[in-house]
Structure 1
Amino acid sequence: MGLTEKEAAERLSVEGENVLGEGRKTGPLKIFLGQFRDIMVMILLGATVISVLLGELSDAVTIILIVLLDAVLGFMQEFRTEHTLEALRSMTSPTAKCWRDGKLKEIPASKLVRGDIVEIEAGDRIPADCAVLKASGFFSDESVLTGESSAVEKSAGAEEDTDNSLNRPNIVYCGASAVKGVCRGKVIATGMDTQMGKISGMLRDIDKEPTPLQKRLAELGKAVAVICLVVCAAVAGAGILRGENIFDMLMTGITIAIAAIPEGLPATVTIALALAVSRMMKQKALVNKLHSVETLGCTSVICSDKTGTITENRMTVTELSTADEDYFFSGMGYRVSGAVTRAGDIAVNPVTEKGLIEALRCGVLCSTAEISTQEVPKSRNRGSLAGKGEWSVAGDPTEAALLIAAAKAGITKSLLSSKCSVLGEYPFDSETRFMAVHCGFGSDKRIYFKGAEEVILPRCSMYMNGRGEKIPLTASFRRKLEEKASEMSDRALRVLALAVCGSEKMEPERRDLVFLGFAGMTDPPREEAKAAIRQCAAASVKTVMITGDHKNTAVAVAKKAGLLKGGMAITGEELNMLSDEELDRDIGKYTVFARVEPVHKLRIVRSFKRRGEIVTMTGDGVNDAPAVKEADVGVAMGVTGTDVTKQAADVILMDDNLATLVNAVEQGRCVYANIRKFVRYLLSCNIGEVLTMFLGIVMGMPMILLPVQILLVNLVTDGLPAIALGMEPPEEGIMSRPPRRSGEGFFAGGLMWKIVIRGIFIGLSTLASFTTVMRLGGSAEACRTAALITLVVSQLIHVFECRSESRSLFRMNPFGNMKLVGAVLISGAVLAAAVAVPQLRMVFGTAALGMADLLIALGFSAAVPLVSSVISR
Structure 2
Amino acid sequence: MQLSAAAPISSLTCEQALATLQSSPQGLRSEEAHNRLQRVGPNRLPPQRRRPLILRLTDQFTHFMALLLWAAGGMAFLARTPELGWAIWSVVLINALFSFWQDFQAERTLAALTNVLPRQVRGWRDGRLQVLSAEELVPGDLIELEAGDQVPADCRVIEAAALYLNAAVLTGESLPVVRTAQPQPQRLRTSEATNLMPAGTTVAAGRAQALVYATGGDTEFGQVAHLSAGTERAPSTLEVQVGRIVRTVTAIAVSMGAFAFLAGVLLVGVGPVESLVFAIGIIVANVPEGLLPTVTLALALAVQRMARERALVRRLSAVETLGCVSVICTDKTGTLTANAMALQTTWSSDEPLLLLAAGLCCNASKQVGDPTETALLQGAQRAGLDLEQERQRLPRQRELPFDSERRMMSVLVQWHNDPRWPQASAWMVCSKGAPMELLQRCSHWLRAGVITPLGPAERQLVSSANDVMARQGHRVLAIACRPCDQPQLEEQDLVLVGLVGLYDPPRPGVSQAIAACHRAGIKVTMVTGDYGLTAEAIARQIGLLDAPAHAGPDPVRVVNGSDLNRLSDAQLRQLLKFRSRLVFARMAPEQKLRLVQAYRALGEVVAVTGDGVNDAPALRAADVGIAMGRSGTDVAREAADIVLVDDNFATIVSAVRHGRGVYDNIRRFILYILASNVAEVAPFLTMLALRIPAALTVLQILAVDLGTDLLPALGLGADPPRTDVMNQPPRHRDQPLLDRPLLRQAYLFLGLLEGVLAMLGYGLTWWSHGISLPQLRNIAPALLHHQASAELVALQHQASAVALGSIVFVQAGTALACRGGNRLKPNALLWLGIATELIAFVVLQGWPPLARTFQMAPIPSQLWWWLLLCIPAPLLAVQLRTTWRAHHHGSSSVMA
Q: Work out the CA distance in 2 between the residues paired with 1:520 and 1:172.
A: 37
1:543 to 493, 518, 524: 524
Please show how residues 88-487 of structure 1 align to structure 2 within 5 Å.
175-176=202-203, 210-240=235-265, 241-305=267-331, 308-310=334-336, 315-321=341-347, 359=351, 363=355, 367=359, 393-394=367-368, 400-405=374-379, 411=383, 425=394, 458=444, 460=446, 462=448, 481-487=461-467
Note if contact 2:121-2:144 (Cα within 8 Å) is conserved in structure 1: no
Over 3 Å counting, the alpha-carbon distance change for 1:567 and 1:813 in structure 2 is same
Greater Cα shift, 424-433 or 841-850: 424-433
Shift of 1:234: 2.6
Residue 760 of structure 2 corresponds to residue 777 of structure 1:
no
How far apart are 1:461 and its partner, in Å? 5.4
Between the aligned partners of 2:120 and 2:431, the Cα distance in structure 1 is 37
Equivalent residue letter for 1:64? L
1:841 aligned to which of 848, 851, 856: 851
Structure 1 stretch 585-594 or stretch 636-645: which is displaced more? 585-594
**Map of 1:826 onto structure 2:** 836
Q: Deviation string for 1:766-805 (max 9, x for gaps)?
A: 111111211222812221121121111111111111111x
Supply the distance in 2 between the matched residues of 1:618 and 1:36 (Cα, whole angstroms). Answer: 41
Which residue in the other structure is 1:150 paired with? none
Q: Quick check: 1:78–1:290 contact (8 Å CA) kept in 2? A: no
Match of 1:795 in 2: 811
The match for 1:343 is none
CA distance in 2, matches of 1:60, 1:183: 61
- Aligned counterparts of 1:303 and 1:294: Cα–Cα separation in 2: 19
Q: Amino acid of the residue matched to residue 448 of structure 2?
A: M
Query: Contact between 1:41 and 1:266, CA under 8 Å: does it hold in 2?
Result: no
- Alpha-carbon distance in structure 1 between the residues aligned to 2:576 and 2:58: 41
> How many angstroms does 1:426 deviate by?
7.5
Post-superposition offset of 1:669:
0.7
Aligned residues of 1:550 and 1:595 also touching (Cα < 8 A): no
Question: What amino acid maps onto 2:849 in structure 1?
Answer: Q
**Displacement after TM superposition at 1:865 (Å):** 4.3
CA distance in 2, matches of 1:139, 1:314: 29
Task: Return the match for 1:67 from 87, 92, 96.
Answer: 96
702-711 or 644-653, which moves further after superposition? 644-653
Identify which of 729, 751, 754 aligns with 1:738: 729
- Give TM-score scaled by structure 1 length: 0.68
* C-alpha deviation, 1:574, in angstroms: 5.9
Deviations 1:563-594 (A, max 9, x none): 56754646499669856x77666654676386
Aligned equivalents of 2:480, 2:863: Cα separation in 1: 94
Equivalent pair of 1:460/1:515 in contact (CA under 8 Å): yes
For structure 1, which segment, 488-497 or 759-768, has the greater mean C-alpha deviation from structure 2 after superposition?
A: 488-497
Partner SS state of residue 744, structure 1: coil
Alignment correspondent of 2:500: 519
Q: Are 2:121 and 2:143, in contact at CA under 8 Å, matched by a contact in 1?
A: no
Q: 1:592 aligns with which of 563, 584, 602?
A: 584
Alpha carbons of structure 1 residues 793 and 544: separation in structure 2 relative to 1, 3 Å: same
Q: Say whether 1:667 aligns with 2:667.
A: no
Find the aligned partners of 1:667 and 1:542 in 2 and give their Cα distance: 18
The alignment partner of 1:738 has SS state of coil
Which amino acid counterpart does residue 630 of structure 2 have in structure 1?
V
Equivalent residue letter for 1:677: R
Structure 2 Cα separation of the partners of residues 207 and 622 of structure 1? 27
CA distance 1:26–1:364, change in 2 (3 Å): same
List per-residue Cα deviations over 1:657-689 (Å, max 9, x = no partner).
332222111111111111111111111111111
| 1:503 match | none
Residues 696, 703 of structure 1: 8 Å contact kept: yes
- Determine helix, strand or coil for the equivalent of 1:688: helix
**CA shift at 1:545, angstroms?**
4.7
> For 1:759, what is the secondary structure of its paired residue?
helix
Task: Among all aligned residue pairs of Structure 1 and Structure 2, give the percentage whose two residues are the same amino acid.
Answer: 28
Measure the CA separation in 2 of the matches of 1:370 and 1:313.
18
Instruction: Verify: 1:637 aligned to 2:628, yes or no.
Output: yes
How many correspondences in the alignment? 737
Tell me the residue number matched to 1:337. none
Taking structure 2 as the reference length, what is the TM-score of the superposition? 0.66
- In the TM superposition, residue 35 of structure 1 has moved relative to its aligned partner by 6.7
Change over 3 Å in CA distance of 1:34–1:176 after alignment to 2 = farther
**Aligned-residue offset at 1:298:** 1.5
SS at match of 1:750: helix
CA distance in 2, matches of 1:540, 1:737: 7
Q: Residues of 2 paired with 1:562 and 1:212: CA distance?
A: 34
1:365–1:144: structure 2 CA closer, same or farther, 3 Å change rule? farther
Alpha carbons of structure 1 residues 235 and 738: separation in structure 2 relative to 1, 3 Å: same
RMSD of aligned residue pairs (Cα, Å): 6.0
Relative distance call for 1:618 and 1:848 in structure 2 (3 A) is same
1:495 maps to amino acid = L
CA separation in 2, counterparts of 1:613 and 1:36? 39
Q: Is the 8 A contact 1:317 1:405 kept in 2?
A: yes
C-alpha displacement of 1:402:
3.1
Offset, 1:621: 4.0
For residues 541 and 639 of structure 1, the distance between their equivalents in structure 2, rounded to whole angstroms, comes to 25
| Secondary structure of residue in 2 paired with 1:494 | strand
Residues 297 and 670 of structure 1 are in contact (CA less than 8 Å); yes or no, is this contact kept in structure 2? Answer: yes
Structure 1 residues 371 and 267, CA gap change in structure 2 (3 angstroms)? same
- Provide the C-alpha distance between the structure 2 equivalents of 1:855 and 1:530, rounded to a whole number of angstroms: 53
**Selected match of 2:864 from 842, 851, 854:** 854
Q: 1:553 to 1:795 in 2, by over 3 A?
A: same
Is the contact between residue 28 and residue 79 of structure 1 (CA under 8 Å) also seen in structure 2? no
CA distance in 1, matches of 2:624, 2:563: 27
Amino acid at match of 1:683: L
Kindly provide the CA deviation profile for residues 270-313 of structure 1, in whole angstroms up to 9, marking residues without a partner as x: 11111111111111222233332122111223344556444566
The 2-side partners of 1:120 and 1:834 are apart by 68
SS of the aligned residue for 1:768 comes to: helix
- Using the TM superposition, give the Cα deviation of residue 265 of structure 1 relative to its aligned residue in structure 2, in angstroms: 1.4
C-alpha separation in 2, matches of 1:360 and 1:48 = 86
8 Å contact from structure 2 (residues 469, 476) kept in 1: yes
Q: CA deviation at 1:646?
A: 4.0
Cα distance 1:764–1:550, how it changes in 2: closer, same or farther (>3 A)?
same
Aligned-partner SS, 1:634 = strand
Residue of structure 2 equivalent to 1:786: 802
Q: Per the alignment, do residues 596 and 53 of structure 1 end up closer, same or farther by CA in structure 2, a change over 3 Å counting?
A: farther
Asked if the contact 1:287/1:650 (under 8 Å) is kept, the reply is yes
SS at 1:520 equivalent: strand
For structure 1, the 5+ residue unaligned runs are 13-18, 97-107, 113-117, 146-153, 161-169, 185-191, 195-205, 324-357, 373-390, 442-446, 464-469, 500-513
C-alpha distance in structure 2 between counterparts of 1:867 and 1:680, whole Å:
15
Distance 1:46 1:364, change over 3 A: farther
Matched, 1:700 2:691: yes
Distance 1:592 1:207, change over 3 A: farther
What SS does the aligned partner of 2:500 have? Answer: strand
The answer to whether the Cα contact below 8 Å between 1:134 and 1:155 also exists between their aligned partners in 2 is no
Instruction: Specify the alignment match of 1:495 in structure 2.
Output: 477
